[in-house]
Amino acid sequence: MKVTIYHNPRCSKSRAALELLRERGIEPQIIEYLHAPPDAATIKQLLRKLGMKPRELLRKSELAFRELDLADASKSDADLINAMASHPALIERPIVIVDDKAVVGRPPELILELLA
């Protein structure tokens, strides 16, 4: 089982998710996505694994969300994906991937479903 976490060490939910994995003896591949942002193609893959639409993965509380007017319903999926690629703080976190499935660990206990 290959486990990857898109992690922000400053986020309490992200830290809790990483701790939850480690408590179960899992040392995931850690991607600090703010320092190594995923490109648009990677975000599309993540969305497929998550079963989500781009708008669902956006952090609406981020300043970039308002500055880029991402609440505008006329913004296309491509617009939203490109915004996340350019401004990775817009990506909801943490994202944990196990094989070909993923979940946003909010709350972190949602990760347990992937590990079952």
DSSP H/E element including 112: helix 111-115
DSSP H/E element including 3: strand 3-7
Q: Does the pLDDT at position 1 exceed 90? A: no
Q: What does the pLDDT read at residue 22?
A: 97
Q: Does the pLDDT at position 116 exceed 90? A: no
For 53, the domain range is 3-115
Which CATH number characterizes residue 44's domain?
3.40.30.10
Q: What does the pLDDT read at residue 52?
A: 97
Determine whether 11 is an active site residue. Answer: yes
Query: Which tens digits make up the pLDDT trace of 37-93?
Result: 999 999 999 999 999 999 999 999 999 999 999 999 999 999 999 999 999 999 999
Number of domains composing the chain: 1
- Mean residue pLDDT across the chain: 96
In this prediction the pTM is 0.93
- The one catalytic residue in 1, 3, 10, 11 is 11
